[in-house]
Homo-oligomer: A and B are copies of this chain.
Amino acid sequence: MKKRIGILTSGGDCPGLNAAIRGVARASYALFDAEIIGIRGGYKGLIEGDYQLMSKYQFSNILTMGGTILGTSRTPFKEMRVVGDDNVDKVAAMKENYEKMGLDCLVTLGGNGTHKTANMLSQEGLNVIGLPKTIDNDIFGTDFTFGFHTAVDIATDVIDRIHTTAASHNRVMVVEIMGNKSGWLTLYAGLAGGADAILIPELPYDIEKVAEVIEKRSIENKNFTIIAVAEGAMDVDEARMKRKDREDKRKEEGTNFISVRIANQLREMLNVEARTVIPGHILRGGSPCAYDRVLSTQFGVHAAQLISNGTYGVTVALEGEKIRHNSLAVIAGVPKPVTPSNYIVRTARSMGVSFCDEEE
Closest to A276 in B: B280
- Complex Cα distance, B164 from A64, in Å, reads 12
Q: Does A191 contact B (CB under 8 A)?
A: yes
Interface residues of A in 147-163 (CB under 8 A from B): 149, 152-158, 160-163
Measured CA separation A12–B191 after assembly (Å): 26
Which of A163, A254, A289, A351 is the most central at the interface, judged by chain B CB atoms within 10 Å of its CB?
Answer: A351
Given the interface contacts A73-B169, A152-B290, does A350 sit within 8 Å of B304 by beta carbon? yes
User: For the complex, is A200 an interface residue (Cβ under 8 Å from B)?
Assistant: no
In the complex where A71-B168, A169-B13, A350-B30 touch, is A161 in contact with B293 (Cβ < 8 A)? no
Q: How far is the CA of A322 from the CA of B343 in the complex (A)?
A: 7
Q: Is the CB of A160 within 8 A of B297?
A: no
- Residues of A275-300 at the interface with B, using a CB-CB cut-off of 8 Å, are 275-282, 284-286, 289-291, 293-294, 297-298
Q: How far is the CB of A274 from chain B (nearest CB, A)?
A: 12
Out of B9, B26, B153, which one reaches A289, CB within 8 Å?
B153
A143 touches B321 (CB 8 A): yes
Q: Does A120 contact B (CB under 8 A)?
A: no
Known A165-B66, A321-B343: A351·B26 in contact at CB below 8 Å? yes
A161 partner, pick from B154, B161, B163, B351, beta carbons under 8 A: B154
B285 near A343 (CB under 8 angstroms)? no
Q: Which of A90-127 contact B (CB under 8 A)?
A: none
CB <8 Å contact, A298 and B347: yes
Q: Which secondary structure dominates chain A's binding surface?
A: helix
- Contact yes or no, A282 B158, CB < 8 A: yes
What's the Cα separation between A13 and B347 when bound, in Å? 24
- A119-139 CB contact bits vs B (8 Å, 1 = yes)? 000000000000000000000
Task: Tell me, yes or no, whether A301 is within 8 Å of chain B by CB.
Answer: yes
Most chain B Cβ neighbours within 10 Å, of A143, A282, A305: A282
Give Cα distance in the complex from A281 to B162, angstroms: 7
Does A315 belong to the interface (CB within 8 Å)? no
Min C-beta distance of A330 to chain B, whole Å: 18
